[in-house]
């Protein structure tokens, strides 16, 4: 029986619209991803066979570990559907990894912040400005690349930075930029920009917690150097 021949209450598309994705079985979700069946078999039937043959007792996890060729060789799947399945599984994997990583990182010290940005920025060839936006417990909400520039210049827009902060409803942020030359010593421009940044943050209720400057294998926390203090 084709999907269109089922009662509306039994069709995966209609069930998802009415009850939400969480209410669907693995078979129904796979049927939606597959979109269409083959001559004599509906997408739901093919999904059921795929779960049985490739998933086994592990269900979707078993399919996730299948190769592109293994999926392509399954009856009713083929190259295009196999690629679609692999892509969907990868999207799910990345979502889980992103959620887990963000909820694991908590910026409770200058050392944590320095190590975090050193891993991501120490070997960049040109200067970039990054920011992490944090909740009230200093847990990571989002890591954003604010801007990129030439070797000795970055055009940092306070408006863009704080627009992101407000959009993310963050309590505070930590800014970081790299010195491709290797020396993380703050320049007079770095110091002036940081003081202005702190002032602007206070005006809209966003705490600029720290500004990390990343060099080659070493970094500086302006907070630890008492360089964030400005007149209130």
DSSP letter string, 101-157: HHHH-B--SHHHHHHHHHHHHTT-SS-EEEEEEE-TT-BEEEEEEEEE-BTTB----
**Is 0.75 topped by the overall pTM?**
no
The Cβ of residue 208 has, within 10 Å, a number of other Cβ atoms equal to 25
Please indicate whether residue 138 or residue 2 has the higher confidence score (pLDDT).
Answer: 138
Q: What is the pLDDT of residues 89-127, one digit of tens each?
A: 888 877 776 665 556 688 999 999 999 999 999 888 889
Question: Of 22-31, 100-109, 162-171, 205-214, where does the model show the most confidence?
Answer: 205-214
Is the pLDDT assigned to residue 221 strictly greater than 90? Answer: yes
Give the residue among 104, 137, 144 at the shortest CA–CA distance from 120. Answer: 144
Q: What is the mean pLDDT of residues 74-82?
A: 90
Alpha helices in the chain (DSSP H): 12-19, 26-34, 43-50, 60-64, 68-72, 78-104, 110-121, 158-167, 188-204
Q: Which whole-number Å values give the CA distances from 208 to 26, 190, 227, in the listed order?
A: 45, 14, 12
Please indicate whether residue 72 or residue 37 has the higher confidence score (pLDDT).
Answer: 72
Determine which of 4-13, 36-45, 158-167, 199-208 has the lowest per-residue pLDDT on average.
4-13
**Residue 129 and residue 174 in contact, taking contact as beta carbons nearer than 8 Å:** no
Is the pLDDT assigned to residue 38 strictly greater than 70? Answer: yes
CATH assignment, 110-221: 3.40.140.10
Q: What is the pLDDT of residues 182-199, one digit of tens each?
A: 899 998 988 988 998 999
**Residue 141 and residue 134 in contact, taking contact as beta carbons nearer than 8 Å:** yes
């Amino acid at each position: 029986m084709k999907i269109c021949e089922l009662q509306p209450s039994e069709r995966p598309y209609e069930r998802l619209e009415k009850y939400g994705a969480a209410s669907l079985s693995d078979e129904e979700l796979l049927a939606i991803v597959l979109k269409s069946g083959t001559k004599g078999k509906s997408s739901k039937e093919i999904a059921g066979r795929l779960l049985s043959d490739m998933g086994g007792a592990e269900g979707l996890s078993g399919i996730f570990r299948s190769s592109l060729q293994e999926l392509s060789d399954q009856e009713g799947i083929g190259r295009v559907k196999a690629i679609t399945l692999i892509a969907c599984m990868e999207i799910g994997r990345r979502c889980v990894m992103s959620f887990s990583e963000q909820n694991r990182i908590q910026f409770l010290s200058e050392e944590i912040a320095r190590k975090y940005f050193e891993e991501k920025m120490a070997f960049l060839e040109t200067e970039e400005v990054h920011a992490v936006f944090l909740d009230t417990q200093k847990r990571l909400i989002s890591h954003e690349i604010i801007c990129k520039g030439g070797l000795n210049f970055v055009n940092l827009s306070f408006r863009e930075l704080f627009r992101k902060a407000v959009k993310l409803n963050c309590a505070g942020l930590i800014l970081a930029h790299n010195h491709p030359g290797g020396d993380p010593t703050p320049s007079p421009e770095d110091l002036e920009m940081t003081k202005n940044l702190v002032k602007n943050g206070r005006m809209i209720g966003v705490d600029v917690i720290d500004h990390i400057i990343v060099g080659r294998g070493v970094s500086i926390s302006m907070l630890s150097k008492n360089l964030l203090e400005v007149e209130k």
